[in-house]
Amino acid sequence: MPIIPLRPNDRIRMKKEHPCGGRIFTVIRVGSEVRVLCETCKRDMTLDRIKLEKSIQQVLSDKLD
Ligand SMILES: [Zn+2]
């Protein structure tokens, strides 16, 4: 299985919606667990990295300057 490179400030789109309906998250901290912030409701959550990688649909790497 390919490893998805993740860095703080990367934006990711998840396969499953957050309870608020949002799907875009910002990566805050990366380790064996990854902390992400929901861009829609601004709540953060910490996920096991393996689980997170499985639920990522796409990494939105384009930087919006
Ligand atoms: Zn949310």
Residue 21 · residue 40 · CB < 8 Å:
yes
Residue 34 · residue 25 · CB < 8 Å:
no
Question: To the nearest whole number, what is the mean pLDDT of the chain?
Answer: 91
Q: What is the pLDDT at residue 65?
A: 53
Per-residue pLDDT band for 51 (boundaries 50, 70, 90) equals very high
Q: What is the pLDDT at residue 4?
A: 83
Cα 28 to middle of ligand 1, angstroms: 15
**For the structural domain made of 11-60, what CATH number should be given?**
2.30.30
Pick the closest to residue 48 from 30, 28, 29, 34 (CA basis): 34
Cα 2 to middle of ligand 1, angstroms: 27
State percent of the chain over pLDDT 90: 83
pLDDT in tens, 4-23: 889 999 999 999 999 999 99
Cα 29 to middle of ligand 1, angstroms: 17
Domain extents in the chain: 11-60
d(CA 25, CA 23): 6
Per-residue pLDDT band for 3 (boundaries 50, 70, 90) equals confident
Q: Which residues surround ligand 1, an ion (CB under 5 A)?
A: 18, 20, 22, 38, 40-41
